[in-house]
A and B are shown apart, each in its own frame.
Chain A
Amino acid sequence: MAELIQLTVTGITVGMVYGLIALGFVLVWKSSGVANLALGEIVLICSWFTYAMLVQAHMPVWIGIPLVIAFALGLGWIAERLVLRPLIAQPILALITATLGFAFFLRGLVVFMWPWSVDALPRLFPIEPVHIGPAVVSQEYLWAAGISLILFGCLQGFFRYHRMGIAMRATADDQMAVQACGIPVTTIFSRSWMFACVVSAVGGILMSSIGGITNGLIETGLKSFSVVILGGLESFVGCIVAGPVIGLAENVGGFYLAPYVWAGVKDIVPFVIIIIVLFVRPYGIFGEERIERI
Chain B
Amino acid sequence: MTLPCGTPNYTYEQDMAIVRTRLQWVLVVLLFVALAAIPLFSSRYVLSIVNIIGITLIAATGLNILTGYCGQLSIGHAGFIAVGAYTSAILTGRLELPFLVGLLGAGAVAGAIGLVFGIPSLRVRGFYLAISTIAAQFIIIWVINHWTDLTGGFLGMRVPYASIFGFVFDTEGKMYYLITGITVLCVFFAKNIARTRLGRAFIAIRDNDLAAQVMGINLFYYKLLAFFIGCFLAGIAGSLTAHLNGFINTENFPLSDSILYIGMIIIGGLGTALGPILGVIFIRLLEVLVTNLTPALQSAFPFLPSGFTTGIAPMLFGLAIILFLIFEPRGLAHRWALFKAAYRLWPFSY
Contacts and interface: CB of A to CB of B under 8 A. Distances in A.
Contacts of B270: 93
B123 A278 contact: yes
Contacts of B135: 226, 271-272, 274-275
Contact of B312 (A35, A94, A112, A225): A112
B126 A93 contact: yes
A109 interface: yes
B314 interface: yes
Contacts of B340: none
B307 A113 contact: yes
Interface stretch (A3-11, A62-70, A95-103): A95-103
User: DSSP majority for the B interface?
Assistant: helix
B186 interface: no
B311 A271 contact: no
A262 interface: yes
Contacts of B139: 268, 271-272, 275
B55 interface: no
Find the residue from B71, B124, B138 having the highest chain A CB count within 10 A.
B138
B314 A111 contact: yes
A293 B213 CA distance: 12
A92 B128 CA distance: 11
A133 B134 CA distance: 40
B127 A35 contact: yes
Contacts of B260: 104
Given A108-B312, A115-B307, A102 B138 contact: no
Interface in A199-230: 219, 222, 225-226, 229
Interface of B: 67, 71, 73, 75, 117, 119-120, 123-124, 126-128, 130-132, 134-136, 138-139, 142, 146-147, 208, 210-211, 214, 256, 259-260, 262-263, 266, 270, 305-308, 310-322, 325-326, 329
B71 A104 contact: no
Contacts of A112: 305, 307-308, 310-312, 315
A157 interface: no
Given A108-B313, A113-B305, A98 B322 contact: yes
Interface in A70-119: 83, 86-87, 90, 92-94, 96-98, 100-115
Nearest to A114: B307
Contact of B263 (A86, A104, A233, A271): A104
Of all A-B residue pairs in the complex, the 3 with the closest CB atoms, nearest first, are A105-B318, A112-B311, A108-B314
Find the residue from B131, B259, B262, B307 having the highest chain A CB count within 10 A.
B131
Interface in A222-266: 222, 225-226, 229, 233, 262-264
Nearest to A90: B329
A278 B132 contact: yes
A92 B127 contact: yes
Given A35-B127, A112-B311, A112-B312, A275 B318 contact: no
B263 to A, nearest CB: 7
Contacts of A262: 146-147
User: DSSP majority for the A interface?
Assistant: helix
A293 B320 CA distance: 35
A57 interface: no
Contact of B127 (A96, A113, A292): A96
A272 B117 CA distance: 11
Contacts of A292: 210
A92 B130 CA distance: 11
Contact of B322 (A29, A102, A293): A102
A268 B317 CA distance: 28
Contacts of B256: 104, 107
Contacts of B318: 101-108
Contacts of B319: 101, 105
B128 A100 contact: no
Contact of A101 (B134, B142, B321): B321
B108 to A, nearest CB: 22
A225 B214 CA distance: 32
Contacts of B312: 108, 112
A161 interface: no
Contacts of A264: 142, 146
A90 B266 CA distance: 14
Contacts of A90: 325, 329
Contacts of A267: 138, 142
Contact of B132 (A96, A115, A274): A274
A104 B266 contact: no
B305 to A, nearest CB: 6
B325 A222 contact: no
Given A83-B322, A268-B138, A115 B311 contact: yes
B124 A278 contact: yes
Given A275-B117, A278-B120, A97 B266 contact: yes
B152 to A, nearest CB: 14
A100 B266 CA distance: 12
A271 B132 CA distance: 8
B131 A229 contact: yes
Nearest to B125: A92
A113 B142 contact: no
